[in-house]
Amino acid sequence: MIVVAKIGTSSVTEDSGTVSRSAVAKLCREVAGLRACGHQVVIVTSGAIGAGLPALDLAGERRPRDAVTLQAVAAVGQSRLMQVYDEALASHGLVAGQVLVAPLDFRERSQYLHARNTLARLLDLGVVPVVNENDTIADDEIRFGDNDRIAALVAHLLGAELLVLLTDTEGLLTADPRLDSDASLISEIVEVDHVLEAVAGAPGSVSGSGGMASKLAAAKIAAWSGVRTVIAAAHRPDVLLDAVGSVAGTGTVVLPHDRKLSSRKLWIAFAVGARGTIVVDQGARAALVGGKASLLSAGVDSIEGRFDENDAVEVAGPEGDVFAKGIVRVDSETATQMAGRRSPELPDGVPPYLIHRDDLVVLP
């Protein structure tokens, strides 16, 4: 079994911002236990910025908020973070391999495949890949997110059977325990819906940037990859072993879907950012949802945003609700000229469709 284990900033650092050697040691001890059972493990870790703050005397209330300074702090903290992992894994006879990823690695198809090959080869060599976002250059990741989405994409890349998202709480609760003493654990989720996303709320700590909402979004990606997800407490004894063994009460389990998206369509749906929106009429929407049609120019009402050929775009219905996403075959200027026109009315050399059905996915 391939297991992807992600641990967040608040779970891997002390209150001061320094790396918690005891937390890393616990995680690596459990990774070694899984390896001894014949499993392959990838660690996805946060903490580079947190590890760099104390070295620059910027911890606590002095923590900077601008992206450029955070990038500089991450450059200082990354080596410190990896040193702790190197030592912790080496104490169990394991070798760590650092893998830094940026949004580009998941937006460009060639980079996406290269990342998969590299990670797979590291596992073949018996290495424990330690993956982190490349905070030094990936300003989008600093601004918007945590490593949860990256962990889900890594799980998909490798065809993992299990994604474990380690956090400060025992899993997804029915309410915020800081506000409701009766909050209880949601032990199993069949489908991530708007109600659950509302329960998840916003980021849960000052040092972290993810929160439960980010973990649910990652679990949704994993579910459509056919990967089981467990959201659990990092401090729970033997949490990784219990997650692999499906021990009751380990955390919140998000079940995989029976119908999986193909590798390419999952990449389109979740890994690549949309550059614009194509608004279609009700007839085009019905045809696309049916799953066997390309998006023809005749069904297009309007074009929003600027995009180039081969960019990803969202597809919205007449009311503005986004229901699909795809790789567009023309740029936004050409798409605007094509909107509402039937194939015989299009200039020579212009394709009859804006998005081919092989490049379009109806969003789950």
Q: What is the set of domains in the chain, with CATH numbers? A: 2-264 (3.40.1160.10), 273-362 (2.30.130.10)
Q: How confident is the model at residue 268 (pLDDT cuts 50, 70, 90)?
A: confident
Q: Taking 80 as the threshold, does the pLDDT of residue 23 lie above it?
A: yes
The tokens for 227 are 């990967």
Question: 271 versus 97: which is more confidently predicted?
Answer: 97
Q: How confident is the model at residue 361 (pLDDT cuts 50, 70, 90)?
A: very high
Q: Taking 80 as the threshold, does the pLDDT of residue 280 lie above it?
A: yes
Q: Give the pLDDT of residue 19.
A: 85
The tokens for 216 are 């649910």
Question: 143 versus 41: which is more confidently predicted?
Answer: 41
Instruction: Say how far apart CA 117 and CA 12 lie, in whole Å.
Output: 28
Half-sphere CA count of 74, side-chain side, radius 13 A? 22
What number is the average pLDDT over the span 59-77? 86
Instruction: Say how far apart CA 181 and CA 177 lie, in whole Å.
Output: 6
* Amino acid identity, position 311: D
Q: How confident is the model at residue 276 (pLDDT cuts 50, 70, 90)?
A: very high
What number is the average pLDDT over the span 69-83? 91
Helices 148-158 and 212-223: angle between axes, nearest 10 degrees = 20
Question: 25 versus 55: which is more confidently predicted?
Answer: 25
163 touches 229 (CB < 8 A): yes
What number is the average pLDDT over the span 16-27? 88
Q: Give the pLDDT of residue 81.
A: 93
Q: Taking 80 as the threshold, does the pLDDT of residue 271 lie above it?
A: no
Per-residue pLDDT tens over the stretch 166-217 = 998 888 887 777 777 777 888 898 887 677 767 666 444 434 445 788 888 8
Task: Lowest mean pLDDT of 58-67, 87-96, 251-260, 292-301, name the range.
Answer: 58-67
Question: E strands, 264-362, where?
Answer: 274-280, 295-296, 300-304, 312-316, 322-327, 353-355, 360-362
Instruction: Say how far apart CA 246 and CA 244 lie, in whole Å.
Output: 6
Q: Across 71-80, 118-127, 193-202, 204-213, which has the greatest mean pLDDT?
A: 118-127
Per-residue pLDDT tens over the stretch 153-166 = 899 889 999 999 99
Q: How many residues are given for the chain?
A: 364
Q: How far is CA 105 from the centre of its chain?
A: 12
295 touches 358 (CB < 8 A): no
Q: How confident is the model at residue 104 (pLDDT cuts 50, 70, 90)?
A: low
Long-range contacts of 29-34 (CB under 8 A, 24+ apart): 29/88, 29/92, 30/238, 30/239, 30/240, 30/241, 31/5, 31/89, 31/92, 31/94, 31/128, 31/240, 32/89, 32/92, 32/93, 32/94, 33/238, 33/240, 33/241, 34/3, 34/240, 34/241, 34/244
Q: How confident is the model at residue 260 (pLDDT cuts 50, 70, 90)?
A: confident
Return the exposure string of 293-315: e unless at least 16 CB atoms fall within 10 Å of the residue's CB, then b.
bbbbbbbbeebeeebeeebbbbb
